[in-house]
Amino acid sequence: MSEPITLNVGGKLYTTSLSTLTSFPDSMLGAMFSGKIPTKKDSQGNCFIDRDGKIFRYILNFLRTSHLDLPEDFQEMGLLRREVDFYQIQPLIEALQEKEVELSKAEKNAMLNITLDQKTQTVHFTVREAPQIYSLSSSNMEVFSAHIFSTSCLFLKLLGSKLYYCFNGNLSSISSYLEDPNHLTLDWVASVEGLPEEEYTRQNLKRLWVVPDNKQINSFQVFVEEVLKIAMSDGFCIDSAHPHTSDFMNNKIIRLIRYK
């Protein structure tokens, strides 16, 4: 066996052998460690690769075993896909494609359930009328909550790619709030006429947007329409048995099913 080599991948250290790193000569790693592409060193003299260090463990294990082994609750398929594309290990690219097909088939039959809640609260804020003149004002604000459950983790990721929170002047995908792969809770407010932009940040009030349409969701009706659009494009349809028609029309419950 060749001498051990320590790699610094995005700040995470890995120790392996030269033969492992060059097991696929046409890959990026094969080119780097055969001398075709110059390598960088960190302050300790380790070979440095400016990529995701956590994901590299799956790539290195594939080099060692020729098998792509992922945990059952693996939630970073998109990041893994980008890293695999960078390293250009063709058998690993093919193994990842097979894994994605396998996951897609496992999630063909799915259920989506959304419970909605709405309330009105009063917000108080100051309005600057002149450089030295402020007045206290108040207004009623609609506050929305949606509790989403789906047996399809991939659908919740799709939903996360379409819906964004607007907070502190920035848009951020709700995917970053997806701590449970099957559950997602959204809380947002409708815009209030006359409420200064900085007050939304000061009072920790998030608004909800649909991207790339750049449409703000100011009512449950708009929210239901957008979720139905996204879900039906992914093969879901309305469950005719549940909920009761009056609940659905009153925007209390959405239950969709998918059979493929």
- Is the pLDDT at 118 greater than 60? The verdict is yes
- Give mean pLDDT, residues 93-122: 85
Which pLDDT band, with edges at 50, 70 and 90, does 245 fall under?
low
- Give mean pLDDT, residues 135-163: 88
The number of angstroms, rounded, from the C-alpha of 180 to the middle of its chain's C-alpha atoms is 11
pTM score over 0.95: no
Phi-psi region of 251 (alpha: psi -120 to 50; beta: other; left: phi over 0): left
Residue carrying structure tokens 């494609």: 97
What pLDDT score was predicted for residue 202?
Answer: 86
Is there a contact between 78 and 220 (Cβ–Cβ < 8 Å)? no
Which pLDDT band, with edges at 50, 70 and 90, does 1 fall under?
low
Look over the chain and give the mean of its residue pLDDT values, rounded to a whole number: 86
What pLDDT score was predicted for residue 210?
Answer: 93
Which pLDDT band, with edges at 50, 70 and 90, does 46 fall under?
very high
- Pick from 176, 239, 245: nearest CA to 206: 176
CA–CA gap between residue 128 and residue 134 (Å, rounded): 5
Q: What percent of the chain has pLDDT over 90?
A: 50
Nearest 5 degrees, angle CA 166-CA 227-CA 143?
50
CA–CA gap between residue 166 and residue 221 (Å, rounded): 19
Q: Specify which residues 141 forms β-bridges with.
A: 121
Is there a contact between 197 and 169 (Cβ–Cβ < 8 Å)? yes
- Is the pLDDT at 103 greater than 80? The verdict is no
Alpha helices in the chain (DSSP H): 18-21, 28-32, 56-65, 77-87, 90-106, 153-162, 197-202, 220-233, 245-249
What pLDDT score was predicted for residue 203?
Answer: 87
Q: 44: helix, coil or strand?
A: coil
What pLDDT score was predicted for residue 138?
Answer: 80
Q: What is the radius of gyration, based on Cα positions, of the chain?
A: 25
- Is the pLDDT at 152 greater than 60? The verdict is yes
- Is the pLDDT at 246 greater than 60? The verdict is no
CA–CA gap between residue 161 and residue 154 (Å, rounded): 11
CA of 125: how far to CAs of 101, 137, 193, 194, 199, in Å? 52, 5, 12, 10, 7
